[in-house]
Structure 1
């Protein structure tokens, strides 16, 4: 594999490593992890230059590191408990917000079509890139370094699931509220802004005569989860 990139791209890659405390010897390998197949599909000279093989590898490394942590962390729990938590924390839903937090959306190399359709904010693309970076780091630095990187974001996710019982905030809010009332929370979208490919939703939730929010999200579902969390923490 070979690729050349500009000095500006090299600067971006070095900065990404510095911010995430990663130590790549081969920056080309890291750069490959950011290349979505939509780019290679549109550029003949990069026909096979995408992150899918790294994603395949990274998915297994992520699973092993997470399973190993859960095995040692939850010694009194049965296999089913470990499997349930693992499925949550390595999911697209869990990985994509971490990718945004890490600035991976800004580092992606996409084809023009995918770029125009809002690919930088698509959870599947972001989660796949997270796995590709893991695969690249495993090749470059070995399992121990890759495991350390993985646990930096997996442990907080595990703790959250352990604390919440593996339920989402809409479920938690409904269960808590229905202990006090026979009514269900009512969610209302109060604002949608931005272009079609990059919209922001604002949602409120009504509990009886009390309104909480609005809270924002890049999808209606995300905004509902965010306002549910705010309401749940307010009335708990």
Structure 2
């Protein structure tokens, strides 16, 4: 969060938000509500929690509709996997951070003095802004905003980077960028013989990535590959227990 953000008025934050999201509200009070965290609201009903609830559904439906229409080759299970990869708190927080919405949040004094904005708040405000756009401009407008802002994450999921094909994606990336195949090394085992769990780490050209646990070695390798992909993209590994 920008150091100057704490001194900005609510009106200035709403104006800044509209510039950053590329949408101008007819009813700015909807945006104000979407940006208001419970700590900065007169009461819980005046916070963005209800809008977050609605925005989550609008986001989910938009992604489902897009996948259904654009990818007729996928079965129901595959569509569900992609949707789950995109409609997640991690992705929503990432998009929110990219839009720099943390500067626009209306927070209580205690939250303002706490330093950085928690990822949960970033995820929530993205969904609440979606709901505000939906109520202000209709579904088509909200849909355009969602697909425009979440495009990179959606593309990545469809390509298989986030739907359980981590090993395949890492194999392609490692060979393309480093000219070497990834290796998977067992780090640890735990549990009784009939119910063991395994910890495995992926390595690419002697670079070791965060290990991951799995109920089978195959599952642990997939998760380890997911961690490696995330770290190669400069992101936090998703499977750190």
Question: Normalising by structure 2, what TM-score?
Answer: 0.66
- In the TM superposition, what is the alpha-carbon distance from 1:167 to its structure 2 partner? 5.2
Q: Does 1:14 align with 2:9?
A: no
Q: Look up the match of 2:84.
A: 87
The verdict on how the C-alpha distance between 1:61 and 1:207 changes in structure 2, with shifts beyond 3 A counting, is closer
- In the TM superposition, what is the alpha-carbon distance from 1:123 to its structure 2 partner? 1.6
Q: Look up the match of 1:145.
A: 141
> Which residue, out of 56, 64, 68, partners 1:59?
56
Q: Look up the match of 1:70.
A: 67
Q: Look up the match of 1:101.
A: 98
**Matches of 2:16 and 2:156 in 1, distance apart?**
29
Q: Look up the match of 2:47.
A: 50
- In the TM superposition, what is the alpha-carbon distance from 1:118 to its structure 2 partner? 4.3
Question: Normalising by structure 1, what TM-score?
Answer: 0.68
**Matches of 1:146 and 1:209 in 2, distance apart?**
45
Q: Does 1:110 align with 2:88?
A: no
**Matches of 2:183 and 2:61 in 1, distance apart?**
44
Judge which range, 11-20 or 110-119, deviates more: 110-119
- In the TM superposition, what is the alpha-carbon distance from 1:180 to its structure 2 partner? 4.0
Residues 44-88 of structure 1: CA distance to partner in whole angstroms, max 9, x if unpaired?
A: x45532001111111111111111101001111111111111111
- Count of residues paired in the alignment: 192
Residues 188-231 of structure 1: CA distance to partner in whole angstroms, max 9, x if unpaired?
A: xxxxxxxxxxxxxxxxx97455689xxxxxxxxxx97654337x
Note if contact 1:170-1:229 (Cα within 8 Å) is conserved in structure 2. no
Which ranges in structure 2 are unaligned for 5 or more consecutive residues? 1-6, 175-179, 188-201, 210-226, 235-241
The secondary structure found in structure 2 opposite 1:23 is coil
**Matches of 2:151 and 2:206 in 1, distance apart?**
38
**Matches of 2:184 and 2:147 in 1, distance apart?**
40
The verdict on how the C-alpha distance between 1:21 and 1:126 changes in structure 2, with shifts beyond 3 A counting, is same
The verdict on how the C-alpha distance between 1:149 and 1:206 changes in structure 2, with shifts beyond 3 A counting, is same
The secondary structure found in structure 2 opposite 1:164 is coil
**Matches of 1:209 and 1:59 in 2, distance apart?**
41
The verdict on how the C-alpha distance between 1:140 and 1:170 changes in structure 2, with shifts beyond 3 A counting, is same
- In the TM superposition, what is the alpha-carbon distance from 1:19 to its structure 2 partner? 3.1
The verdict on how the C-alpha distance between 1:92 and 1:209 changes in structure 2, with shifts beyond 3 A counting, is closer
- In the TM superposition, what is the alpha-carbon distance from 1:183 to its structure 2 partner? 5.2
**Matches of 2:207 and 2:88 in 1, distance apart?**
34
